[in-house]
Amino acid sequence: MVNMTLAIPEDLHKLIRRHNEVKWSEVARKAMWEHAKRLDIMDKLVSKSKLTEKQAEEIGNKLKKEIAKRHGLAG
């Protein structure tokens, strides 16, 4: 398995430290798998589409923004 280092906001770090009973690396791994699976599905759908590359990029960007919003990653 490969190790990865993440930068997180200080307030999130404080909250995480209060719950050391949670296996945070497992939480992060599961979240990344789910997000990656969604992106893979989107890529497969777009690859079979008759849309132009620009149209596909616009749709992809909108989807990514909505996914980020849903997961609290939008600024």
Tell me the average pLDDT across 15-44: 95
- Tell me whether residue 1 is in a domain: no
- Tell me whether residue 2 is in a domain: no
- Tell me whether residue 39 is in a domain: yes
- Tell me whether residue 48 is in a domain: yes
- Tell me whether residue 38 is in a domain: yes
Q: Is residue 74 pLDDT above 80, yes or no?
A: no
Yes or no: say if 56 and 46 are a contact pair by the CB < 8 Å rule: yes
- Tell me whether residue 41 is in a domain: yes
- Tell me whether residue 58 is in a domain: yes
Residue 46's SS3 state is helix
* Residue span of the structural domain in which 32 resides: 24-70
Q: What is the 3-state secondary structure (H, E, C) of 39-52?
A: HHHHHHHHHCCCCC
- pLDDT above 90 covers what percent of the chain? 64
Q: Can you give the pLDDT at residue 17?
A: 96
The two structure tokens encoding residue 21: 């009973």
pLDDT bracket for residue 39 (50, 70, 90): very high
- Tell me whether residue 10 is in a domain: no
Q: How many folded domains does the chain comprise?
A: 1
Tell me the average pLDDT across 15-23: 96
What is this structure's pTM? 0.58
